[in-house]
A = this chain, B = another copy of it.
Amino acid sequence: MGEIVFVGLGLHDEMGISLRGLKELETADSVFMELYTSLMPEFSVKNFQKISGKKLHMILRQELEEESGETVLKAAETGKAVLLVPGDPLIATTHVALRIHAEKLGVRTRIVHGASILSAVIGLSGLHNYKFGKSVTIPLASGVSSETPYEVIAQNRRLGLHTLCLLDIDVTENRYLKIREGLKLLLQIEEKRKENIVTMDTLVVGVARAGSNNPQVKASFLRDLLRCDFGGPPHSIIFPGKLHFMEAEALIAFADAPENLREASE
């Protein structure tokens, strides 16, 4: 019986993989890759094959989700299969499902970690890690918008905590939610709920292209961010809770936040 090694690709392009990940590839009998759980806009399969010296078999969403990763499991029956995954592996539940399935079949599994959007946006904003409450994904709107993101922001705000909002993507349809669109969806829910959680005067931090050579981080009031062009994906949004004075300083220094943020911090 062989094994599956989940290797994290880190962020944005083919340079995000760790040396340990690259070393695992050397002894792999087959290498699979999925690029639908997170956007890696500048990932070049060709360059990666050159760097790793391995041929990549691309895995579609359907193969991993509906067919329970049969292709990968089959390769792992007799040899070492590596599954390359954007970010840090097993944050997406679809990989967890595959891993559970593999372990039940007696296939050994291991993880090689990679940089994740979860910690990257914290570092880029300069906000304190231990002040983030639960995070949430704003889904691509299809009919009525889910009110969950609004409720999560509200709950965290009541506790003085920050909220990280990841923005949904659909790689198959080549769609991704932009910061402006995410904010508008939340404003629509505000209009209905009227709890004063997401208004034009709410402080928001937009983060674009974390892990690339040109990430963009901008903190301001929602009305300003609606006018801000964040360029290419991926995008995410932070709704800060109560600010420590050092967090206010960080937002001013790293994210061009209004100087009067200082007075609102504690």
Contact = CB atoms under 8 A, between A and B. Distances in A.
Interface of A: 6, 8, 10-11, 13-20, 22-23, 51, 87-91, 93, 96-97, 99-100, 103-104, 109, 111, 113-116, 118-120, 122-124, 126, 128-137, 155, 159, 161, 210-211, 215, 246, 249-250, 253-254
13 contacts: A10-B115, A11-B113, A15-B18, A16-B18, A16-B19, A18-B19, A88-B119, A91-B122, A99-B126, A99-B254, A118-B129, A130-B136, A134-B161
B23 A246 contact: no
A96 to B, nearest CB: 5
Contact of A88 (B6, B23, B123): B123
Contact of A90 (B22, B123, B159, B215): B123
Contact of A132 (B126, B134, B246): B134
A103 to B, nearest CB: 4
Contacts of A126: 90, 96, 99-100
Contacts of A250: 96, 99-100
A139 B14 CA distance: 38
A128 B137 CA distance: 13
A130 B134 contact: yes
Contact of A115 (B23, B116, B131): B116
B119 A118 contact: yes
A154 to B, nearest CB: 12
A76 to B, nearest CB: 15
Copies in the complex: 2
Contacts of A123: 6, 88-91, 111, 113
Contacts of A11: 113
Contact of A18 (B17, B109, B249, B254): B17
A115 to B, nearest CB: 4
A249 B17 CA distance: 29
A136 to B, nearest CB: 6
B22 A19 contact: yes
B113 A253 contact: no
A20 B15 CA distance: 5
B129 A99 contact: no
B136 A134 contact: no
Contacts of A51: 19
A6 B10 CA distance: 16
Contacts of A88: 115-116, 119-120, 122-123
Contact of A100 (B6, B133, B253): B253
Pick from A18, A114, A133, A137 the residue with the most CB of B within 10 Å. Answer: A18
